[in-house]
Structures are given as C-alpha cells and as structure tokens.
Structure 1
Amino acid sequence: AEAVQPLEAVFRAAQRLDARAAGLLAEAHARAGHAKLAEDLRAWIALLGGSKAAEARQWRQRAWDLERARSGGRVEVLSALEQAVRLDPLDHVSRAKWLRFRSAQGLDERLVLDLLRTTSFDLRLLPSTWRDLLHISRGLDREPFVGPLSQRLRGEGREARWARCLLRAFALTYEDRGEWLTPTLREATQLLDEDPADLLLGLIRAGLLLRAGRLAEAEGALTWLRRELPEHSQVTFYELLLGAARRAPAEELVPLLERLEREQFQLWAAKNWTVKHFPELEPYARLPAFKPLLGALDRR
C-alpha cells in the first residue's frame, strides 16, 4: 500500500502512462488489495502495445468528421467517441471530448471528476479542459461560467475538495470571482501539501499566487514547475505574467512571448475572454515588439 502513492506521483511526472510504469502500479495496487484497480491497469497494459490504437484513431476521426460536416447527430458522434475511448483508454483527446458530449445529458459528477483526473495525467490537455468545462456548464445552465459548476459538486472527501478547488480556480481566471481568491488559494495550498506531486494543482496554485500578488511565492512555484514540466506552455505564460507584474524590461519578456508562439499556446477559452483579462500585460500591449505576438496569441 505504501508503494501506490509514490508510483502514482511518478505517473503524474511522466504525464503519460507507459507499459512498464503501468505494470509496477498494477502490482502495487494488487498487493494493497485494490483488485479492481489492478485489473483495470492490466487491461490498459494490453492496450499500450498499440494493437487497437489504430482502430481507435479511426473512430476518433469518424467522430471529428461527423461533427465537422454536421452529417451526424449527437448520438452518432458520442457513439464514435465511446468506441475510441473503449479501444484506447489512454487516448486523452478522445476521452476529454467524449466527456464533454456526455455532459449534455445532464450533470454526472463522475464525468467532471474524470475530466479533471484525465487532465492531471496529461497536462497538455489543460487548455482544452478549461474550454470543455465551459461547455459543460453552458450545457447545464446555458451560461458559459464554471463557477456554478463548482457549487453543483456535492461530494465530500479529498477528491471532491480537489475538484471544487480546481473549478473555482478556473472561475477566478475567467469570471472575475475575486471573492473566491483567498479561500481557493488556501485550499489549493493545503491540498498540495497533502500531495506534493500533483502537478495540475501546482500549476493552478501558481496562477492563484500571481492573482494574489504574492510574487516571490509564485516565482518559487514556477521554478519547481519549470523543472518538472520543462516544455509546458502554461508555465511559460505564468513566467511572462510574473515578469510583467514586476515590470521587467520588455526585451526580457519578448523571448517568453516568442516561446509561447512556438509552443502554440492557447490564450483564450471563450469568445469574450482575451489578453485584456491580464492587467499585468497592459503596460506592454502597445509596444511594437509585443503587439503582433500578443495579437497572435489572442486570435489563436
């Protein structure tokens, strides 16, 4: 049982499961008496060989084609995505989109938790997760806000606390929920103390520290995140915000903007959300070196 938590931490650091790591974790779960988890992981190991990955990609492409051409209804798209996820549970892109389509049938708390958990294992999904959460909320309340979604989660225990904390952090970013900043940052800090390997929570907390103006703590958090996630564009964006908050010379920030463009960072999450939501960047927005780069990020 003691081996399970550190192995899961290794998974998060790797961002994507591989067969050897999955085998180690399956064995640890089996020894800890978690038979169902061990069985599920062993099923994943069989899929990691890639024998069904090509077929899964075909189903995912079919879903994409149906949606793009509007030639199939929601049921057909959902069915194709379900097939892709069944054939390759590690296809996080298909899984995230499948969860979004499922939410249109009404709130299933497990869907929200699964979406967040999936993102915690593949942090490249973070921008699409933010948008999917907006779509889920819009489907439930016909409003593009994540804040009410966090209030719908009624569960107790650490996982429910974790999910509500993440949802409120997203709401703070997109919806100016200033009254949530202090309690959400406090909760994120406590949850991260309980599980220091949670990189998704670490990313979210870094953003909250920037929002709270606690720049020295934000710098420490970003130093750790850069070491753990050397290629993640969200870390680069937060480094840009930190430098801008400290009024760094423009020439020091331009390389970060250029890196974001190379990394194809997705700045937006909704049509009414733009770079103007970040007051740190306003003093730089009209500078010749910044204007085209910020515009490119905004349009993407």
Structure 2
Amino acid sequence: MTGTVSLVGSGPGDPELLTVKAKRLLDDADVVLHDKLPGPEILDMIPEEKREDVGKRAGGEWTPQEYTNRRMVELAEEDKDVVRLKGGDPTVFGRGGEELVHLAENGIPVEVVPGITSAVAGPAVAGIPVTHRDHASSVSFVTGHEDPTKEESAVDWDALAATGGTIVVLMGVGKLPDYTTALREAGMDPDTPVALVERATWPGQQVATGTLDTIVDVRDEAGIEPPAITVIGEVAGQRDRVIEFLRTDYGEASDESRADGGDDDA
C-alpha cells in the first residue's frame, strides 16, 4: 500500500482563510510537513506529534529541498497520508511544481489543493487591490528570491517598468534596494507609490507606504522584515483613500513610517 501526498496551500496565514478542503486534510493527515510561512495559528491547530518542520528562512534555518523530497516519498511508502503544507498557494513561488513532478516520478499518488495566494491577499487586506479599472489593467508577480545558483537574474526589470500595471514582489524585502533602483533606471517614475505588507493576515501584520524613491528608507525606519510583500504601482496609493474605514482583525501597526511623515493611522 502507498499513502497519498497532498500539496496544500495554507493561504496567507489567517486560519479563517484556509479552504474547507485544506482543513479536512490537515485533520485527517498522519504527518504534516510544513514550511515556515503558514501562520502560527494554523500550525497551532495541528497536533505537535504529527508536525514536521521542513521550512526555509532567508538567512536562517534551512531544510534542504532534497531532504523534503525524500521525506515525502518515505512517508507515503510507509502508507501514511501526508500533507505538505505551504504558505499561500503551493504553485506560486512555493516549489510545488518541483515537488509534484518528484512525487509523480516516484510513483506516489499526489493531489494539489490550491490556497489563497499572499500575492493577492496581502495587498487586499491592507486596502490595496492589485488591479483597478482606473490604475492597473495588468499585474505581474515576481519573486525577489531566485535560485542562487543562477548565473544571472531571469527577471527583466526593464520590461516590467515598460509594461505598466502593478508589480507584486514576493520574498523581496531584502533586495528592495536592488530592484527599486533597477526600475528607476529603467524609466519608472520615482514618485510611483509603493507599499510593503509584512506578515499579511498574521497577528503582527504591519504596512508601510512610500514611493519608489523613498521606500528603502521607509522600510528601514519601520523595521519591515521578511516575510513581506512589495506592491509597486498606482494601486498602492489606494490605501490612503480607504485606511480610515478599513477594518482589520490583524493587530496592524499601520504605516508607522510613511513617506510624507504623517501621523500613524491607528
């Protein structure tokens, strides 16, 4: 007998944003191999005896992908039902595609359970729509943390600057100076609004806003750290129009270092 591996997206972190199917599979699983990014409240829902941390953290703890691949196969071959739990959606910069192929090549039954991607949910809960009829008819999702073995970046910042619309960068707070400089050098207006959303939908969510020219200083002053999402484009300016009436359950420390030097939005 062989167990099944489910590649499950946990959404941005709020347990109420888990899908019904994700919750059922977590309850029924024999083992949950989880990343660092599922929210702490979601991980607390899983009995400790069936949780295994195989996460990665930039500049911190690191579980080799080869170990995770091997562990999924081993557990399934022991006839265990395994949930491979990832933050957001497993196929959006989550190596879900690689793990799907690896499991199939080893003859392991596998299913993919989509999750709400933080690339959309993070900006949304901060009052920022990634598309808008007046400001953005397209959106580009970009990773800020490419495979370090690549000889050069596969991200064409010149093309993104020319395309217009919204640019959403995941896992890119550390390289913020690099790509904001690249976009300015490619001709993007330095006054383009930019927002950073740290730990979206987690209890410690924080949002900071600025412009392409000021956002690095804003990041440093506000102390924004990973995991965080960067939103670049006119839609990032929509937050100012709704913040007074925006309700949130996430204990947000709102815009503590805004580019205009204004007061907190608490």
TM-score tier by shorter-chain length is 0.3 to 0.5
Between Structure 1 and Structure 2, the one with more strand by share is 2
Q: Give TM-score scaled by structure 2 length.
A: 0.36
**Structure that is richer in helix per residue:** 1
Q: Which has the higher contact order (CA 8 A, sep 6+)?
A: 2
